[in-house]
Amino acid sequence: MATLPPRSDPWKPKPRSVGRLEKSPPRQRDTFGGRKPKSWFPDRRLVLVWAILIAGGLGLALNLYNLQIVKAPMLLQKARQQQMVSLRPFVPRRSIVDRNGNVLATDQPTYTLYAHPKLFKKSKDEVAEQLCAMINCSPADLLKQFNQKNSGIRVAVALKEDVGDRITKLRLDGLELSKQYSRLYPQQELAADVVGYVDINHRGQAGVEYSQEKLLERDVRSVRLSRSGNGAVMPDYVPEGFLHFDDTHLQLTIDSRLQRSARLALKEQIKEFKAKRGAVIVMDAADGSLLALVTEPTYNPNEYSQYNIGLFKNWALTDLYEPGSTFKPLNVAIALESGVIQPDSVFKDSGHISVGGWPIKNAENDHLGMLSVAQIIQYSSNIGMVQIMQRLKPEVYYGWLERLGLGQIVGIDLPFESAGHMKSQEQFTSVPIEAATTAFGQGFSLTPIQLITLHAALANGGKLVTPHVVRGLVDSQGKIHSQPHLAAPRPVFSPETTQKVLEMMETVVQKGTGETAKIPGYRIAGKTGTAQKASAQGGYNSTALITSFVGILPLDGTHRYVVLAIVDEPQGSEIFGSTVAAPVAKSVMEALITLERIPPNQKD
């Protein structure tokens, strides 16, 4: 190139000039091998082509600018809408299962169907007819609805998944299915008192659903994924662990079989005695886990809105009552532990006693005379109990009651637990009748759950355990992932004391007031209770009684269970803990024996 003189662009050899050269006449040929410079300036066609190309290029650039800069945000959004799907994978609230893995609560997706008649492509008649074939409604009514509003008509709620699918397959325009989660309680009211329910916003409102909200809620991550043309989800932006959400569920210590038989027994007894309400609690004394917690009447959590709001609290945790005679074994344990009495101490029951000007008598005066401590328990002698506790200084007695946790909550993992009620120390120590009434279980109040916790201390060798219903988060293989932290058992009595008290309580079932709870072949400790209820006007209501029975079994083994049955305000002539509550406790204990495979030891 360097050797050649400069050649300007228009002189560049064009292919067509080569071809022309061979045909062109001689005179047109020049020294450049046939290249014929037509014009020093670019010819018009070239300019035209150049101009078109440049204009085209400019146009493209302009469009590029328009698309990439001016319209970019809008287009980006549009593309995202089409390609990206905000996927909220079905992350349900954790299921709740009982100790055997029976599901007590689980999540189900449901649909709400909305109709927008202005978007219908088919006639309203047709749509109404097709829809009603799916969701069981009358086409005429639906048509009326369609004619009333133009859009946003809620046609049906809580549609099952397969119904939703069938509606989607109709491919009708103007219909909208919105997905929700609904909680299903397959066992209905069986464990409602423990499990609770969730409201329309999927928030727990009672029971474990309320108190264990943190354990039940899985963190729902909304994931944005891209979608291919046919709507299939693409794995491009799937975060790690997207598919591996945990398969854990919340396991309770409740045994639904025991719960069922307890409920059945309680229901029948309440019906028979026209009682106001009742409760049964079964506790494993070793660790405080509850095997059954039944209150009657109850509700079906699937249709909670149809029930009285007062049923949603578990009255075995929230309502205080005066335990009556069921507290006597604890008083005996206190007296034994403080050393003011011996198991063979004897007290005189004269039928009545006066403390600080107040007369005190027994419920029944069948067994008067000299009574041993065991007999005082066996015949439930109020006079004997008052004498036993009078040996203890009121300050020391009050200290013991505080040590047992009276007036405080027991710390169960269910919500809305109430603290018991106790008189102030001044009143207790200065007024002699206070200590005297406390001796036979009146004048203070506690919740049924607290009473059974105190009896569990007698059953397990003197330790106060924390009652609980939650076992922990368990995966599908049965491995426990997280367990609730429970307070360590607090020793209050010595094992020797509790063993003596249990032996005394055994006589109650063998030949005392608790004979109705006797099960042949089993050593059972028990105590009946028939207490007057405090009336709203102060003092005691003469007709309203609360009957209870607490049973501890088996006395042979070291692993013991405590059963508490309470029937509130039963009607009739023979209203005692032995006639009303003890039969309930007996059938619950029978079920417990077979379910927990407790072998008989005593040979009758």
Binding flag, residue 229, another protein (CB under 8 A): no
Between 34 and 343, whose beta carbon lies closer to another protein?
A: 34
Q: Should residue 557 be labelled a site residue for another protein when binding is judged by CB under 8 A? A: no
**Minimum CB distance to another protein smaller for 265 or for 392:** 265
Q: Minimum distance between the CB of residue 301 and another protein, rounded to whole angstroms? A: 13
Q: Which is nearer to another protein, 41 or 537 (CB)?
A: 41
Shortest distance in whole angstroms from residue 6 CB to another protein = 9
Q: CB-wise, 109 or 297, nearer to another protein?
A: 109
Residue 92 or 278 with smaller CB distance to another protein: 92
Quick one: which of 9, 16, 31, 574 contacts another protein (CB under 8 A)? 31
Q: Running DSSP on this structure, what letter comes out for residue 289?
A: B
CB closer to another protein out of 32 and 358: 32
> Of the listed pieces 106-114, 310-318, 333-341, 422-430, which binds another protein according to CB under 8 A?
106-114
Q: Are 353 and 528 in contact (CB under 8 A)?
A: no
Q: In 34-43, which positions are buried (b, 16+ CB within 10 angstroms) versus exposed (e)?
A: bbeeeeeeee
Residue 408: Cβ within 10 Å count: 13
Q: Is 590 in the site for another protein (CB under 8 A)?
A: yes
Smallest gap from Cβ 99 to another protein, in A, equals 15
Q: What is the CA radius of gyration of the chain?
A: 42
The nearest distance, CB 144 to another protein, in angstroms, is: 34
Residues 477, 137: Cα–Cα separation, whole Å: 44
User: CB-wise, 83 or 494, nearer to another protein?
Assistant: 83
Would you call 296 helix, strand, or coil by DSSP? strand
CB 330 to another protein: min, Å: 28
For strands 358-361 and 84-87, give the pairing. unpaired
Asked if 200 touches another protein (CB under 8 A), the answer is no
Question: Shortest Cβ distance from residue 549 to another protein (Å)?
Answer: 18
* Binding residues for another protein, total number by CB under 8 A: 53
Does position 604 interact with another protein (CB under 8 A)? The reply is no
Least distance between another protein and beta carbon 153 (Å): 28
On the 0-12 / 13-18 / 19+ scale of CB atoms within 10 A, 138 is: exposed
Give the interface segment with another protein, choosing from 75-83, 126-134, 225-233, 425-433 (CB under 8 A).
225-233
Rounded CA-CA distance 195/413 in Å is 11
Nearest to 104 by CA among 259, 242, 314: 259
Choice among 211, 256, 289, 325 that is catalytic = 325
CB of 218 to another protein, least distance (A): 14
User: 527 with 385: CB under 8 angstroms?
Assistant: no
**Which phi and psi (to 5°) does residue 291 adopt?**
-90, -25
Q: Give the pair of three-digit tokens for residue 364.
A: 């029944």
The site map against another protein for 475-514 (x = CB under 8 A) is ----------------------------------------
Q: How far is the CB of 327 from another protein (least distance, A)?
A: 29
Nearer to another protein, 1 or 536 (CB): 1
Instruction: Report the site for another protein in 42-101 (rule: CB under 8 A).
Output: 90, 92, 95
DSSP helix/strand/coil, 372? strand
- Cα–Cα distance between 421 and 398 in angstroms, integer? 13
Whether 173 and 166 have beta carbons less than 8 Å apart is answered as no
325 is catalytic: yes
Report the residue from 40, 148, 169, 538 that binds another protein according to the rule CB under 8 A. 40
Least distance to another protein, CB of residue 579, Å? 20
Rounded Cα–Cα distance for residues 513 and 176 (Å) = 66
Residue with smaller CB distance to another protein, 19 or 351: 19
Q: How far is the CB of 87 from another protein (least distance, A)?
A: 10
Q: Is position 190 an interface residue for another protein (rule: CB under 8 A)?
A: yes
Kindly indicate which of the ranges 319-327, 379-387, 411-419, 590-598 contains the residues binding another protein, using the contact rule CB under 8 A: 590-598
Q: Cα 201 to chain center, whole Å?
A: 15
Contacts of 589 (CB under 8 A, 6+ apart): 517, 519, 522, 524, 551, 553, 563
Integer Cα distance of 491 and 84 in angstroms: 61
241: left (phi over 0), alpha (psi -120 to 50) or beta: left
The residue from 186, 356, 369, 572 that contacts another protein (CB under 8 A) is 186
Nearer Cβ to another protein (10/399): 10
- Is the separation of the CB atoms in 442 and 382 below 8 Å? no
In this chain, which of 42, 407, 432, 600 binds another protein, going by CB under 8 A?
600
Query: Do 564 and 455 meet the contact criterion of CB atoms below 8 Å apart?
Result: yes
Q: How far apart are CA 530 and CA 565, in angstroms?
A: 12
From 170-178, 383-391, 450-458, 589-597, span contacting another protein (CB under 8 A): 589-597
Instruction: Identify residues 231-270 at the interface with another protein (CB under 8 A).
Output: 232-236, 243, 260-261, 264
Sheet holding 540-553, edge to edge: 290-296, 277-284, 561-568, 540-553, 525-534
| DSSP per-residue string spanning 311-345 | GSS-HHHH--B--GGGGHHHHHHHHHHHTSS-TT-
Window of 118-126, 435-443, 536-544, 596-604 that interacts with another protein by CB under 8 A: 596-604
Nearer to another protein, 33 or 56 (CB): 33
520 binds another protein (CB under 8 A): yes
102 touching another protein, by CB under 8 A: yes
Half-sphere exposure of 178 (CA within 13 A, CB side): 9
Contact 258, 592 (CB under 8 A): yes
Residues within window 114-153 making contact with another protein, judged by CB under 8 A: none
Beta strands 223-226 and 463-464: pairing type? unpaired
Q: Does 351 sit near another protein (CB under 8 A)?
A: no
- Of 33 and 356, the one with the shorter C-beta distance to another protein is 33
Q: Are strands 277-284 and 290-296 parallel, antiparallel or unpaired?
A: antiparallel
Residue 521 CB, nearest distance to another protein (Å)? 6
How far is residue 47's CA from residue 60's CA, in Å, rounded to a whole number? 19
How many Å apart are CA 490 and CA 238, to the nearest integer? 50
Query: Which spans of this chain sit near another protein (rule: CB under 8 A)?
Result: 1, 3-5, 18, 22, 26-27, 29-33, 37, 40, 90, 92, 95, 102-103, 106-109, 161, 184, 186-188, 190, 228, 232-236, 243, 260-261, 264, 519-522, 587, 590-591, 593-595, 597, 599-600
Residues labelled as active-site residues? 325
